[in-house]
């Protein structure tokens, strides 16, 4: 099989994976706190033959940490973080982290996400409040106040830029390295009454979708041409 066919096949596999990630991003462009999935591609050099041949890898997925747009909701239970920090939540898979700040208070007084996961404080314990003590006031450092009483703190956590993120549920992630509690409240500010949206740029994603579709079709066309050339060569060189 010729190198040209291998190159075209590798390009088709790479573009197919890119199409999948774009479709997933577009499907979640209205999901609060969602982080877009991106692909990092590399070339693989073949050492066979007299000349080097570059093949495309299928790419390595990573989660974009760019902030999404923030919308004012006027709901006292909504929060958005200005800065790179994350909210910590307790899930069946362990502690996960999210930027989706749509919170609720249960009848038992647990502060939970829209998916009913407990929100954690700086020490990693579930945040508990008195459900009958009135509306919550949330400070810029995550402190919770009911009336004149401070009743707890919503934790903010830093995830290392080197950590690999695994997606969990709606818009949460689980890093492969421990997150650390925020100590710098100048770079990380919690805003009550706001919600952060997805960081997906719909116009950019649609543009990428068109470009990748064309690349996929070009790779498919190249494969077809290579097959036709191979068949024609066999016929021409075969027994007469």
Spatial distance between the Cα atoms of 198 and 143, rounded to a whole number of angstroms? 25
167 beta partners = 173
CA atoms within 13 A on the CB side of 141: 10
* Token pair belonging to 203: 């116009």
Domain locations in the chain as residue ranges: 3-65+200-237, 70-196
Spatial distance between the Cα atoms of 203 and 216, rounded to a whole number of angstroms? 20
pLDDT band at 38; cut points 50, 70, 90: confident
pLDDT band at 224; cut points 50, 70, 90: low
- Per residue in 55-95, pLDDT (tens digit) is 445 557 789 999 999 999 999 999 999 999 999 999 999 99
Spatial distance between the Cα atoms of 148 and 109, rounded to a whole number of angstroms? 18
pLDDT cut 70: percent of the chain above it: 75
Sign of the alpha-carbon dihedral angle for 124, 183, 158, 32: positive
The three-class DSSP label of residue 198 is: coil
């Amino acid at each position: 099989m010729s190198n040209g066919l291998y190159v075209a096949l590798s390009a088709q596999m790479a573009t197919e994976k890119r199409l999948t990630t774009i479709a997933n991003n577009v499907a979640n462009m209205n999901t609060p706190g969602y982080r877009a999935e991106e692909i990092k591609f590399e070339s693989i050099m073949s050492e066979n033959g007299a000349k080097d041949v570059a093949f495309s890898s299928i790419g390595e997925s990573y989660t974009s940490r760019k902030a999404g747009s923030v919308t004012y909701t006027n709901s006292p239970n909504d929060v958005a973080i200005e800065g790179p920090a994350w909210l910590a939540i307790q899930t069946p898979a362990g502690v996960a982290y999210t930027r989706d700040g749509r919170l609720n208070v249960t009848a038992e007084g647990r502060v939970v996400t829209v998916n009913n996961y407990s929100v954690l404080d700086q020490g990693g314990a579930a945040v508990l409040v008195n459900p009958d003590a009135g509306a919550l006031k949330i400070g810029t450092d995550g402190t919770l106040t009911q009336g004149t009483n401070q009743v707890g703190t919503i934790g903010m956590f830093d995830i290392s830029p080197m950590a690999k993120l695994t997606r969990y549920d709606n818009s949460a992630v689980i890093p492969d390295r421990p997150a650390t509690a925020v100590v710098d409240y100048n770079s990380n500010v919690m805003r009550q009454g706001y919600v952060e949206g997805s960081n997906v740029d719909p116009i950019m994603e649609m543009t990428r979708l068109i470009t990748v579709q064309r690349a996929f079709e070009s790779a498919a066309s190249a494969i077809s041409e290579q097959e036709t050339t191979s068949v024609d060569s066999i016929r021409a060189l075969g027994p007469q």
